[in-house]
Amino acid sequence: MFEKIRDMADRFDEIDRLLIDPAVAADPAKCSTLMKERARLSKWAERYREYEKLLRHISETEAILRQEQDAELRAMAQDELASLSAREEKARLDMEEFLLSEDSETSRSVIVEIRPGVGGAEAALFAYELMQMYLKYARRRDWTVELIEVVTTDLGGLNYGTFTIEGEDVYKFLRFESGTHRVQRVPATEASGRVHTSTATVAVLPQAEDVDITINDKDLRIDTYSAGGPGGQHVNKTQSAVRLTHLPTGIVVQCQDQRSQIRNRELAMRWLRAKIYEHEQAKQKKAISDLRRSQIGTGDRSEKIRTYNFHDNRVTDHRIGFSVHDLNGFMEGEMEEMIAKVLEADRAEKLKILGAAKK
C-alpha cells in the first residue's frame, strides 16, 4: 500500500538532485516547475522517510536481540523493541489514514467550469449564483481567483463560466463539487408563485503541471480574435482573445477575459493542460483501484449531487444525506460544514473498503 508514497519520496529526492544540477539551475522555468512539484511531494516524503527510519531501528534492535547474550542487555533491547513496535503500528495507521484522506492531486490548484442545465433563464441565473458562491468561498480561504472566460446573459445569468482557484489544498476541498446542482425556488418572473426546478453543472479540474502533461507545439493550433463583452473599445479593437485547439484530442479552450493576449494565452494553456489531464485520467479509469473508485461521487457532471431549496432555506447533499439549514449563508460562501461532512464521508467509505480488503 505504501509503494505510492515510496515512489513520491524517491521523486522528491530526485528533484533535490536535479535542482543542484548546473544545467537545470540555468533554466528558471524548469526550476520553477520542479520547485512546485517538490513542494507538493514534501509532506509525503517526510512521512515515508520517518517510517523507513523507524523500520531500520526495529531491524537493528531485532539483530541485537539475536546476538546479545547478556540478560540485562537483552531485557533492555526487548523493552526498546516493544516501544518501537508500538510506534511502528501507530505510524503505519497514520500513513494509511493519510493515504485515505490525501492523494497526489489534493494539494493542486483547480480550474472550475460552470454551465446552466435545464431550466432556461432561471438555470442561467442559478449558475451565476453558484459561480459567485465559489468565488466567495475562495476569498474566505484566502485563495486566489482569476477568470478565464465568463459569458453572461442579458438577464444577468451565466451562459458559461471558467476560472482558476489557486492556493493550498484547493482540490482537496473542492473536488467533490463536480456534478449537477439543483435549485428549487419561485423565479422572480413567475407571477403565479409556482416553484420551479432548474439545474447547473459544475466541473472541478485539478491543474496539471508541465511534468504531468507535455504539449508539443506541432499538436497545437493557436487562433487569436477580438474579444467581446465588458471592457469597452479595447476588447473589440485588439486581437487579445486566444483560442487553443489540441489536435490529437480535439480539445478546444478559449480565453478572452484578460486585456493582454499573453495573459489570455497563459490562462488558456493552463485550462488546456487541465482538460488533457482529465482526458488522460478518464482513459485510465478502468485501471483505477477500488479504493480510488470508492469516492462518494464519480465527479461526473451528470450526477445530481445537491439540492438548494430556497423555500425551506435548506441545501442538501444527496450523496451523504446531510443538510445545512442556512441556504442564504451557504450561497455567501459559508460552505465549510458541508465540505467537511463530504470529506468525512469519503474517508469513512475508504476505511470501510480498506478494512474489508484486509480480511
Q: What is the pLDDT of residue 270?
A: 85
Mean pLDDT, consecutive 10-residue segments, the chain of 359 residues? 81 93 89 86 85 92 89 90 91 74 73 93 95 97 93 92 92 93 86 85 84 79 74 52 90 84 86 84 52 45 85 95 97 96 86 63
* Domain 110-207+309-358 -> CATH class: alpha beta
Q: What is the pLDDT of residue 260?
A: 80
3-state secondary structure the chain: CCHHHHHHHHHHHHHHHHHCCHHHHCCHHHHHHHHHHHHHHHHHHHHHHHHHHHHHHHHHHHHHHHHCCCHHHHHHHHHHHHHHHHHHHHHHHHHHHHHHHCCCCCCCCEEEEEEECCCHHHHHHHHHHHHHHHHHHHHHCCCEEEEEEEEECCCCCEEEEEEEEECCCHHHHHHHHCEEEEEEECCCCCCCCCCEEEEEEEEEEECCCCCCCCCCHHHEEEEEECCCCCCCHHHHHCCCEEEEEECCCCEEEEECCCCCHHHHHHHHHHHHHHHHHHHHHHHCHHHCCHHHHCCCCCCCCCCEEEEEECCCCEEEECCCCEEECCHHHHHCCCCHHHHHHHHHHHHHHHHHHHHHHHC
In this structure, CATH architecture of domain 217-283: 2-Layer Sandwich (3.30)
Domain boundaries, the chain: 3-101, 110-207+309-358, 217-283
